[in-house]
Amino acid sequence: MNIENKLLKLSSLEGLVLKLNQDGKQVFAPVKKDNIVNFAPVSAFHEMTQDYIVTARSAKFVVFPRVETILEMQFSKDNITLKDKDLSSIPDAVLLGTRPCDAAGFKVLTSIFEGDYIDNIYVTRLKKTTIISISCNNYDAKCFCTSVNVHPGGTAGSDILLTRIDNDNFLAEIVTEKGKEIVNKFDTLFDIAPDVNKDSLVANVPVEFDLSAILGKIYPRFESDIWVEQSLRCIGCGTCAYVCPTCGCFDIQDVSDGHNGQRKRSWDSCGFDLFTLHSSGHNPRNTQSKRWRQRILHKFVYVPEQDNILGCVGCGRCSRACSVDMNLKEHLINLIGELTK
């Protein structure tokens, strides 16, 4: 679909949020609480904060909740019944205020959850979610989107992308049919777009490293000492994966009280020792350095090779959340240093 441009007034957003909610859609937007900004359900636009670079946690939970019942079961003395997930119970949602990196992150998740085995739960959630992103006009030292081919004004993954023109107005780029549906439904809120140079409106995030110096070059360094070197500080807490918009690893567990039960999928992290531990006690990734390597390779080698998409969108969340200052951008830069040695 060709991208169509509109004008959306800041004042119209109030109405938009209200109407979306009235329409039965759950609206998630960045909300500031105790000085951290995270996506939370909002019923009115003013609950949303404007003061954020990116949220602490990514927005992935809307399509890939931290815990999801994937099927249910019932037990009687001699019988077991399985109940499929009721996909129709998944609500319509709108994500407002995602950044272009966040939106791009959904593409990565999708590449994991689709493929030859299609995870319909994810797919349905995504289908029912409209993503209205806002371009970045600011960035911080942890951001490195432009180094991984994501643009602070990029439309990939968004259904609508808003870019701030001035204090009162947004440029609204209608990227997908889903976005268009919203515009059509609430057309009174949208105006004709002015002619603007979008690039001048978004942040100018410097390119910090040359991606091509990494791509295709890390895998041969599988046994390099650099992994140990970089990860000595890492305490294996897994936080990076939990906040990351593209980490999709999960665990499946059953809970049951003997009468009823659910099979649940929940977030997991390759940073954990237990993630790959065999019941025999053998563990193929038994040190933190191997697990750190897995994280980098997963994003920069395995996902790109399998799905033709880079596994990291440069949002920098992992680095911000890490309590021991494992800075991904810095690590990538010195990785390049090592590779070019």
Q: Which of residues 247-286 bind ligand FAD (CB under 6 A)?
A: 278-280
* Residue nearer to another protein on the CB measure, 181 or 325: 325
Q: How far apart are CA 105 and CA 111, in angstroms?
A: 10
30 makes contact, choosing from another protein, ligand FAD, ligand SF4, none, with CB < 5 to 8 Å by partner type, with: none
Nearest distance in Å: CB 36, another protein: 6
Smallest separation, CB 257 to another protein (Å): 6
Which partner in another protein, ligand SF4, ligand FAD, none is near 310 (CB below 5 to 8 A by kind)? none
Q: Two tokens at 296? A: 């980098």
Mention every residue, 6+ apart, whose C-beta is less than 8 A from residue 300: 214, 215, 218, 310, 311, 312
Q: Pick what 246 binds: ligand SF4, ligand FAD, another protein, none; C-beta below 5 to 8 Å, kind-dependent.
A: ligand SF4
Smaller CB separation from ligand SF4, 169 or 269 = 269
Least distance in angstroms from the C-beta of 323 to ligand SF4:
6
With CA atoms as reference, report the closest residue to 64 among 113, 25, 103. 113
* Number of chain positions touching ligand FAD (CB under 6 A): 3
Q: Which is nearer to another protein, 28 or 170 (CB)?
A: 28
Nearer to another protein among residue 110 and residue 169 (C-beta): 110
Q: Which of 220, 224, 144, 188 lies closest to 7 in space, CA to CA?
A: 188
Partners of 160 in beta bridges:
132, 174
| Of residues 34 and 166, the one with the C-beta less far from another protein | 34
* Residue 222 beta carbon to another protein: minimum distance, rounded to whole angstroms: 5
Question: Considering the complex, what minimum distance in angstroms separates the CB of residue 269 from ligand SF4?
Answer: 7
Pick what 341 binds: ligand SF4, ligand FAD, another protein, none; C-beta below 5 to 8 Å, kind-dependent. none
The entry of another protein, ligand FAD, ligand SF4, none near residue 249 (CB within 5 to 8 angstroms by kind) is another protein
The C-alpha angle 8, 157, 187, rounded to 5 degrees, equals: 25
Contacts 24+ apart (CB under 8 A), 205-208: 205/136, 205/139, 205/143, 205/144, 205/145, 205/146, 205/152, 206/146, 207/146, 207/147, 208/144, 208/146, 208/147, 208/329, 208/333
In the complex, the smallest distance separating the C-beta of residue 180 from ligand SF4, rounded to whole angstroms, is 28
The contacts of residue 194 (CB under 8 Å, 6+ apart) are: 7, 165, 169, 171
Residue 105: closest CA among 234, 203, 213, 247:
247
What does the binding site for ligand FAD look like in residue numbers (CB under 6 A)?
Answer: 278-280
